[in-house]
């Protein structure tokens, strides 16, 4: 058996890779799409707000003028059938199957359990759990095919450090993220032997729009205080971790990454 070269490439390259990023219109997803494109990957940008996806595609075109245009894919991860159709169309537009899938779209609508609007629980569960499953189901055949062929194949799930924390008001959100972490750990056992590198990324406090949609005043106040105590890191920090790990040699998987502000502890 030959020993793989485990040195980190100084300029991680993803030339020839075909990526799909959900939630690519803002925050971590937008930064990840840009970072993957800068490393040479073709990227499908999935989300619900076309203007935001187009803006990210424009940023990619400016940053990487030689790269093929990023594909804008209107898709709602809570609509599994519609998402599958959109991803199929994106595959056709890009002209190749996906081998780097980032199931990243997420929603955080924290509120105390007794006062929460239960429709917000539905949104978090359908986006953070069912939406991740729908994304996986729509792309897993591409990934297993790449893995079988001995090519790099990455399934990257964005969970959260919250999967491990005890936070008042955040029970449902953190439960959805614990589910994502557990899903990734188990899928590793299922897909790893076929060559698919399943990776769970657990960000800490990161700059994005995630908290902007919260309606509960108590939870908003808690988050604002937490952000002052733990200044967020840029979304590009998470993106770089994803880019770096995807560029590692075939056969090596950084299976779990907690990426957070140092001060968050």
Kindly tell me which of 52 and 197 has the beta carbon lying closer to ligand NDP.
52
As given in the structure block, the two tokens for residue 195 are 């060559």
Kindly tell me which of 8 and 85 has the beta carbon lying closer to ligand NDP.
85
Kindly tell me which of 145 and 207 has the beta carbon lying closer to ligand NDP.
207
Residue 154 vs residues 64, 180, 183, 229, 263: alpha-carbon distances, Å? 22, 16, 15, 34, 30
Kindly tell me which of 47 and 169 has the beta carbon lying closer to ligand NDP.
47
Q: Which residues are catalytic?
A: 173
Closest approach, Cβ 212 to ligand NDP, in A, equals 7
Radius of gyration for the alpha carbons in the chain, expressed in angstroms and rounded: 18
* Burial of 48 from C-beta contacts in 10 A (0-12 / 13-18 / 19+): middle
Closest approach, Cβ 107 to ligand NDP, in A, equals 5
Closest approach, Cβ 181 to ligand NDP, in A, equals 11
Strand partners for 197: 154
Closest approach, Cβ 48 to ligand NDP, in A, equals 3
The contact set with ligand NDP (CB under 6 A) reads 22-23, 25-29, 47-49, 52, 75-78, 104-108, 127, 131, 158, 160, 203, 205-206, 208-210, 235
* Burial of 84 from C-beta contacts in 10 A (0-12 / 13-18 / 19+): middle
CA 129 to chain centre: 13
């Amino acid at each position: 058996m030959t020993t793989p070269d485990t040195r980190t490439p100084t300029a991680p390259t993803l030339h020839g890779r075909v990526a799909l990023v959900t939630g690519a219109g803002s925050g971590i997803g937008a930064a990840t799409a840009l970072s993957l494109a800068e490393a040479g990957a073709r990227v499908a940008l999935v989300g619900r707000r076309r203007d935001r996806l187009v803006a990210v595609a424009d940023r990619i075109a400016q940053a990487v003028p030689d790269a093929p245009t990023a594909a804008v894919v209107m898709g709602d991860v809570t609509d599994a059938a519609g998402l599958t159709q959109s991803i199929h169309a994106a595959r056709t537009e890009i002209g190749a199957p996906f081998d780097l899938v980032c199931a990243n779209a997420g929603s955080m609508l924290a509120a105390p359990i007794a006062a929460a609007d239960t429709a917000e629980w539905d949104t978090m569960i359908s986006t953070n759990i069912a939406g991740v499953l729908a994304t996986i189901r729509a792309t897993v055949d591409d990934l297993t095919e790449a893995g079988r062929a001995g090519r790099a194949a990455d399934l990257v799930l964005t969970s959260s450090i919250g999967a491990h924390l005890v936070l008042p008001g955040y029970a449902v959100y953190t439960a959805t993220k614990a589910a994502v972490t557990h899903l990734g750990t188990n899928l590793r056992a299922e897909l790893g032997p076929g060559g698919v590198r399943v990776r769970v990324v657990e960000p800490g406090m990161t700059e994005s729009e995630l908290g902007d949609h919260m309606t509960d005043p108590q939870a908003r106040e808690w988050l604002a205080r937490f952000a002052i105590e733990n200044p967020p890191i840029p979304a590009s920090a998470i993106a770089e971790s994803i880019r770096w790990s995807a560029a590692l040699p075939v056969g090596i998987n950084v299976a779990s990454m907690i990426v957070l502000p140092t001060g968050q502890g």
